[in-house]
Amino acid sequence: MTGSQCSRIAQLVSTCGVQLLHRHNGGRCSFVTRKFSTTSSQQSERSSPLEGIRILDLTRVLAGPYCSMLFADLGAEVIKVERPGAGDDTRSWGPPFKGTESAYFLSVNRNKKSIAVDLKKQKGVEIVQQLAGSCDVLIENYLPGKLGEMGLGYDEMKALVPQLIYCSITGYGQTGPYRSRAGYDVIAAGVGGLMNITGPRDGDPCKVGVAMTDLSTGLYAFGAIVVALLHRQLTGRGQHIDCNLLSTQVASLVNIASNYLNAGMEAKRYGTAHESIVPYQAFKTKDGGYMLVGAGNDKQFQLMCQRMELPELLEDERFQDNKVRVANRDILLPLLGHRFETKTTSQWMQVLEGSGIPYGPINNIQQVFSDPQVVHNGMIQEVQHPTAGTIRLPGPAVRYSESQTVVPRPPPTLGQHTQEVLQGILGYSDRQLKHLIETGVVQ
């Protein structure tokens, strides 16, 4: 049966209130059905939106694992392939550790299954090829060409599994002069301009406190894969997705890029301040904390001056609109800074409450997770890990009115699901599994 024929069947079945998920394995077609909930009683038993989707995850460290965790949170079955004996690099990235597991690894691998397979052995490669035949998506973050040498590149996998969506996450892309360079967040942030605009106004460039280029690439990859799944549902065809850290970072320069491309304006470092809006930054307060405030328009600036009891600024022609405030930032900001140092952070919170002005403190991490809005948003998940005991993790950022994320499951131990996956999905016998373990192909 051709891909277009399978797609047509899926479209016809969908008119009956059933979603048909098509998979192709070794020349054989198979389907998984899922009924749509239409009545109120059915909607009260909402399923996770990506239930029935299976992801083969060949990624390590952050960008790829973050992407696959987003799928796992939404109900997709994510099978994480790791190296026997070592696993994902981040398993050893500590301290801190929780039991024997690094806190870093725990942060981006919940709700997944782990299998330990040696891809340096031909039988290990064959296992991954077989698994791909029962999966909808393969995600990898090897150097371009590396998996192709093993027989696991996109061209090889497309020949075996035409419907497979194959997402590559690299530092610089599949082609070009930098294609063979290792991809690391801080390097891509430097090459892509982020570090040059981050840091004190008269100081050195700084890295962002978390790997935002990695995380943003994971988000781009997540969105791209969802688009490819929708495209396959219409056409029956898989495709290759090329995501890379550098392109993500350049695309994320947004207004800074536009300033340069359209006005020739080279960017500068402004600390917590904004290049095009004044005031919009942090000010030190009486108790040594910091208060962030912004005036996105002239009305907000007027309200801020009223709340802060600075009527003289309202009459000063140097501060009448944002354009002149930007030009006179070196005059205005010290005046505001002096006023902020007369009250504590909590006192300023009370002064600005209900004003409509954007404001807030700079919290440390303890303050973040005790913040009443963070607690209200359910941003702390608690799960039981098989070796580490009770662990706590930041929860998913998005809520849905008609769908739900899965009940959180702990990040897996290395090879925890090898037997389950090989026997439950590929149908390996006890004898075959034992031989694979004895020969070091799997763990």
Which residues are known catalytic residues?
A: 214
| Residue where the block lists tokens 């397979």 | 117
Return the SS3 of 46. Answer: coil
- Find, among 67, 63, 25, the residue nearest to 164 by Cα: 25
| Residues 6+ positions from 141 with CB-CB distance below 8 Å | 58, 59, 60, 61, 63, 64, 168, 169, 170, 183
**Furthest-apart CA atoms within the chain: distance in Å:** 86
Token pair for 215: 């995380």
Token pair for 71: 């799928």
| Residue where the block lists tokens 């696959």 | 68
Distance between CA 421 and CA 394 in Å, rounded? 28
Distance between CA 79 and CA 115 in Å, rounded? 7
- Find, among 289, 349, 440, 397, the residue nearest to 66 by Cα: 397
Distance between CA 104 and CA 86 in Å, rounded? 15
Distance between CA 133 and CA 148 in Å, rounded? 17
Q: Cα–chain-centroid distance for residue 351?
A: 36
| Residue where the block lists tokens 């691998």 | 109
Whether 194 and 267 have beta carbons less than 8 Å apart is answered as no
Q: Please give the radius of gyration of the chain, using alpha carbons only, rounded to the nearest integer.
A: 26
Distance between CA 291 and CA 354 in Å, rounded? 16
- Find, among 64, 136, 99, 127, the residue nearest to 418 by Cα: 127
| Residue where the block lists tokens 């390996």 | 428
Q: How does DSSP assign 75-108, residue by residue?
A: T-EEEEEE-TTT-SGGGG--S-EETTEEHHHHHT
Q: Cα–chain-centroid distance for residue 3?
A: 31
Q: Going along 310-386, which residue ranges are E strands?
A: 359-361, 380-385
Token pair for 429: 């016998």
Distance between CA 80 and CA 66 in Å, rounded? 12
